[in-house]
Chains A and B, each alone.
Chain A
Amino acid sequence: NAGVTQTPKFRVLKTGQSMTLLCAQDMNHEYMYWYRQDPGMGLRLIHYSVGEGTTAKGEVPDGYNVSRLKKQNFLLGLESAAPSQTSVYFCASSYSVRGGENTGELFFGEGSRLTVL
Chain B
Amino acid sequence: AQSVAQPEDQVNVAEGNPLTVKCTYSVSGNPYLFWYVQYPNRGLQFLLKYITGDNLVKGSYGFEAEFNKSQTSFHLKKPSALVSDSALYFCAVRDINGYNFNKFYFGSGTKLNVKP
- Chain A residues within 8 Å of B, Cβ to Cβ: 4, 31, 33, 40-43, 45, 48, 50, 90, 92, 96-98, 103-111
| B103 engages A40 (CB within 8 Å) | no
| A31 engages B102 (CB within 8 Å) | yes
Number of B interface residues in the complex (CB < 8 A):
23
Give the Cβ gap from A27 to chain B, nearest Cβ, in Å: 13
Chain B hits for A110, CB < 8 A: 42-43
| B45 engages A108 (CB within 8 Å) | yes
Chain B hits for A42, CB < 8 A: 90, 106-109
| B108 engages A40 (CB within 8 Å) | yes
CB of B58 within 8 A of chain A?
A: no
CB of B96 within 8 A of chain A?
A: yes
Chain A hits for B45, CB < 8 A: 108
Partner of B42, one of A41, A96, A111: A111
| B46 engages A97 (CB within 8 Å) | no
Please, which residue of chain A has its CB at the minimum distance from the CB of B34? A105
| A109 engages B43 (CB within 8 Å) | yes
- Chain B residues within 8 Å of A, Cβ to Cβ: 32, 34, 36, 41-46, 49, 51, 90, 92, 94, 96, 101-104, 106-109
Given A45-B104, A104-B94, list of 19 further CB < 8 A pairs? A31-B102, A41-B108, A42-B107, A45-B103, A48-B102, A90-B43, A96-B102, A97-B32, A97-B94, A97-B101, A97-B102, A103-B32, A104-B32, A106-B46, A106-B92, A106-B104, A110-B42, A110-B43, A111-B43
Chain A hits for B34, CB < 8 A: 105-106
| B96 engages A97 (CB within 8 Å) | yes
Please, which residue of chain A has its CB at the minimum distance from the CB of B9? A40
